[in-house]
Amino acid sequence: MGKNPVIAVVTGTRAEFGLLLPVIKRIEAHAGLALSLIVTGAHLCESLGGTVKEIERAGVPIAKRIDILPDGERTKATEAAAVALREFSRYFSETKPDVVVVLGDRYEIFAATAAAAMCDIPVAHISGGETTEGAKDEFFRHCITKMSALHFASTDAYRKRIIQLGEQPENVYFAGSLGAENIKTLLVIPREELSREIGFDVSHDFLLCTYHPETLCGVSPKEGAAELLAALDAAGLPVLFTAANADDGGREINEAIRAYCEKRENARLVDSLGAVRYLSAMRYCKAVIGNSSSAIVESPTLKKPAVNIGERQTGRIKGENNIDCATERGAIAAAIKKAVSTEFQTSVENMESPYGRGGASEVIVGAIEERVCSLTTKKTFYDVDFEVK
């Protein structure tokens, strides 16, 4: 009897790992597949939370750690991507996994995917076909799609867009959102326990805020953070912040938020909550504020009002709970006021999420199991029959 096919899963951020966890657990438990978890990026950077500790606490064995941030959070994205391409190429050349699983659209995932493709290893990509016009993730995502052999979209509209990019329909699956699955399956931490764990009182109304750099919009991280913090002051509610990501400008945002919290008793910055604590906090908060994809993808399942600031997430499919606003303190304050109003809170109580109802990991791992032995990096372009305007 031959060895089980090796499925390598790459994770570089706390949010991505939380989404990937049901896939990782399902592969790990599968009698016919072997898991190889590769940890990289912000996970291995102490100044960005050192979130590899969350992976270790989850009890998932780590096959390889690839450090791509030699200067910590001060490392430029271009330098980190170059290191990632080199190191993933070396590792994939040595180990030759049967499939590499990646999620999303960050630069380190782009580099890992490019390395796998150049090593002739098929890639299974989760969450392709989406658009985020305000971030460089936009072009990373579509490049990852073209280098991948299997695709798992979170909505049917995104599936169609992947096919529009020339991918064969039989290789493109509508899986739904892993975030929606987590909400349905992860245990909720009681308010009192969560308050104790994070040092912030979640028993009263509060806002949950995550703000990342807008890398394609011309809004400086420092300027964007200043507008957001001024609006939060005007709102007058306690705020639980999670840290910005490792994109260029993330450090400046975190410094501004840290200084803001040091001067206020009702504001707290946590580098990383982890999936269970984050989703528990989202369940208890009055509204989600910022420009994180989680506010777009996860909050509709919880029917939680979400204020989406600026253009980072422009193009994503949004639920009825979403309120878009400009990166300007008056606009943000007005959006927050609307989000926490009784009228708006009531209006989203019966909404349906556009990202499905859970079960994505079963679709993903089932397709990988079925296709692993026949996958190849060679592809035929699929031409969509439509009239170009």
Per-residue pLDDT, 357: 74
Contact of 366 with 172, CB cutoff 8 Å: no
Per-residue pLDDT, 159: 97
pLDDT tens figures, 169-209: 999 999 999 988 999 888 899 999 999 999 999 999 999 99
- What is the homologous superfamily of the domain 189-347 according to CATH? Glycogen Phosphorylase B; (3.40.50.2000)
Q: What is the CATH number of domain 6-176+359-371?
A: 3.40.50.2000
**pTM listed for this prediction:** 0.83
Sequential DSSP letters for 180-236: HHHHHHSPPPPHHHHHHHHTS--SS--EEEE----TTSS--HHHHHHHHHHHHHHH-
Per-residue pLDDT, 47: 79
Q: What is the layout of strands, in order, in the sheet containing 267-270?
A: 267-270, 239-242, 207-210, 287-290, 306-309, 322-325
Per-residue pLDDT, 1: 44
For the chain, residues with pLDDT lower than 50 are 1
Rounded distance, CA 306 to CA 18, Å?
Answer: 20
Pinpoint the residues of the chain covered by CATH 3.40.50.2000: 6-176+359-371, 189-347
Per-residue pLDDT, 48: 77
Per-residue pLDDT, 133: 78
Q: Exposed, middle or buried: residue 67 (CB in 10 Å: 0-12, 13-18, 19+)? A: middle
Per-residue pLDDT, 162: 98
Its sign, for the CA torsion 56, 58, 62, 67, is negative
Per-residue pLDDT, 4: 95
| Distances from the Cα of 139 to the Cα of 13, 248, 263, 268, angstroms | 19, 16, 39, 34
